[in-house]
Amino acid sequence: MQSDPDRLRFIKPQEPMLVLEPPVSDDWLHEIKYDGFRVQIIRDWAGVRAFTKNGHDWSKRFWPVVDAVEKLPAKSFIIDGEMIAPDPDGRPNFHEMHSRMAWNAELLAFVAFDILHKDGNDLRGLPAIERKAILWDLIKPATGIIQYSQHVEGGGADFFAAVDRMNLEGMVSKRRNSPYRSGESDAWVKTKCWDVDDLDLIGVKREPGKQTEGLFARNGKYVGKATIAITRAIKERLWQRIERDRVQQPAGVPSSVADGDVEWVKPGITGRVRHLRGEAKLRHASVQDFREE
């Protein structure tokens, strides 16, 4: 059976690279990083479909958005965006995503941030700033279940500071004249905000020639590793405690991190850990201080 040449097909999304500082030159545009599920919406003669970033058809789960997209004034298009579960103030609440998909899909919203095709034209070669203008013209006023990812041009450091003050996950920056290219690209970069949390130290990994790392848990559940970069005096006190109070490996630690180099620690030491916001496990994490019970 031959495939239909007039059907639009899923395109592998462009992915931003993680950076630790936002770009500051004026040839970048900046958007909020929305905490939800990356979704690509396709419309052609056969109707509207919604795909996950891996190309799975989730149209039935996102049916209210699919219904709303049917009303947009174009015969065919591919829109890239993020499906979110907005709180009353508009902030995305990732923890609500699964329950809304199951029970209240009408409370989801699709935030559109790029357009790849429209009415027979492949737009991927156009500059990002031009694609956004075409996208806005298609979905405006974008005040309901379909929203538009607003952007600012330049001023990356100020934009990042504002995102951090709002307690959002981070930002995505895109070169204003860049084309759309599938896969990871340095034309799109994401900068995440930082959180500092008090976590329970459960083990220490010391290897010659490598940075010492602490293994941490929250409420008894392993959450990852953090570099121990603290004063010599605090380190010495920590090593004495470890030597004195070694214990067996606690339950729930993945075998990939529980190797022979780890010294397990008796409960009672809390680490103040700085890490990237919005990650399931600690990322780019470092210990700022320790506290003993």
- The CATH number given to whatever domain includes residue 279 is 2.40.50.140
pLDDT at 2: 45
Whether residue 3 lies inside any domain: the answer is: no
Does residue 114 contact residue 128 with C-beta atoms inside 8 Å?
Answer: yes
Instruction: Report the range of poorest mean pLDDT among 34-48, 65-79, 92-106, 109-123.
Output: 92-106
Which of 2-6, 24-28, 123-127, 172-176 is the least confident region? 2-6
Could you give the number of structural domains in the chain? 2
Greater confidence (109 vs 207) lies with 109
How high is the pLDDT of residue 258? 66
Give residue 144's domain range: 14-192
Q: Identify the domain boundary among 148, 168, 192.
A: 192
The reply to whether 266 falls in a domain is yes
Task: Please list, in sequence order, all residues whose beta carbon lies within 8 angstroms of the beta carbon of residue 18, skipping any fewer than 6 positions away.
Answer: 189, 190, 191, 192
Task: Give residue 259's pLDDT.
Answer: 66
pLDDT at 3: 54
- The mean of the pLDDT values for the chain is 90
Q: What is the share, in percent, of the chain residues with pLDDT greater than 90?
A: 63
Q: Residue 118 and residue 112: Cα distance in Å, rounded?
A: 14
pLDDT in tens, 200-236: 999 888 877 788 889 999 988 899 999 987 777 777 8
In a domain, 36, yes or no: yes
Residues 187 and 210 in one domain: no
**Strand extents, DSSP E, 95-169:** 109-118, 121-122, 146-148, 152-153
What whole-number distance in Å separates Cα of residue 161 and Cα of residue 155?
10
Q: How far apart are CA 105 and CA 84, in angstroms?
A: 10
pLDDT > 90? residue 268: no
**Helix (H) or strand (E) segment spanning residue 172:** strand 170-175
pTM of the model as a whole: 0.82
Q: Could you tell me the CATH number of the domain that includes residue 144?
A: 3.30.470.30
In a domain, 263, yes or no: yes
Of the residues 192, 209, 225, which one is the last residue of a structural domain? 192
Quick check: is 210 in a domain? Answer: yes
* Nearest residue to 69 via CA among 137, 149, 138: 138
Q: Are 67 and 81 contained in the same domain?
A: yes
Residues 222 and 178 in one domain: no
pLDDT-above-70 percentage for the chain: 97
- Is 247 contained in some domain? yes
- Same structural domain, 182 and 266: no
Q: Assess if residue 1 is contained within a domain.
A: no
Same domain, 184 and 201: no
Q: Which of 192, 208, 231 is the last residue of a domain?
A: 192
- What's at 122, amino acid-wise? D
Judgement on whether residues 208 and 271 belong to the same structural domain of the protein: yes
Cite the beta strand spans of 100-162 per DSSP E: 109-118, 121-122, 146-148, 152-153
Whether residue 145 is found in the same domain as residue 178: yes
| Residue 155 and residue 211 share a domain | no
Whether residue 181 is found in the same domain as residue 94: yes
Residue 262 CB partners (closer than 8 Å, separation 6+): 203, 204, 205, 215, 249
7: in domain = no
The reply to whether 159 and 261 lie within a common domain is no
**Token pair for 174:** 């895109």
Q: Are residues 25 and 57 in the same domain?
A: yes
Residues 108 and 238 in one domain: no
Residue 217 or 257, more confident: 217
